Amino acid sequence: MTATTQPSRTRTLEIFAAELLEATTSLVPVAPLRDRLDGMTLADAYYVQTVQLDQHLAAGRVMAGRKVGLTSLAMQKQLGVDSPDFGFFFQDMVYGDGANIPASAFIQPKVEPEFGFVLKEKLQGPGVTVEQAAAAIEAVYPAIEIIDSRITDWDIKLVDTVADNASCGAIVVGSTPLDVDPSALLDVSCALVINGDTAGSGTGVDVMGNPVAPLAWLANVLGEQGVALEAGQLILPGSFTKAEPVTAGSTAIADFGPLGSLTIHFTD
Domain assignment present for residue 25? The answer is no
**Does residue 18 sit within a domain?**
no
Give the mean pLDDT of 50-74: 94
Q: Is the pLDDT of residue 4 over 60?
A: no
pLDDT band at 244 (very low <50, low <70, confident <90, very high): very high
The pLDDT score that the predictor gives to residue 7 is 59
112 within domain boundaries: yes
Q: What is the pLDDT of residues 149-205, one digit of tens each?
A: 999 999 999 999 999 999 999 999 999 999 999 999 999 999 999 999 999 999 999
pTM of the full structure: 0.94
Residue 250 belongs to a domain: yes
Say what the pLDDT of residue 80 is: 74
- Has residue 29 been placed in a domain? no
- Asked, for residue 11, whether it belongs to a domain, the answer is no
Exposure b/e, 116-136, CB count within 10 A at least 16 = b: bbbbeeebbbeebebebbbeb
pLDDT more than 70, % of the chain: 97
The answer as to whether 232 is a domain residue is yes
CATH number at residue 109: 3.90.850.10
Quick one: average pLDDT of 93-108?
A: 98
Question: Taking 90 as the threshold, does the pLDDT of residue 99 lie above it?
Answer: yes
**pLDDT (0 to 100) of residue 77:** 77
Confidence of residue 39 (pLDDT cuts 50, 70, 90): very high
- Note down the domain range covering 80: 63-267
Asked if the structure places residue 12 within a domain, the reply is no
Inter-CA distances, 62 with 39, 88, 169, 203, Å: 33, 11, 16, 32
Cis peptide before 245 (omega within 30 of 0): no
Q: How many other CB atoms are found less than 10 A from the CB of residue 179?
A: 11
Distance CA 148, CA 169 (A): 5
Q: Is the pLDDT of residue 81 over 90?
A: no
pLDDT of residue 6: 56
Q: How many domains does the chain have?
A: 1
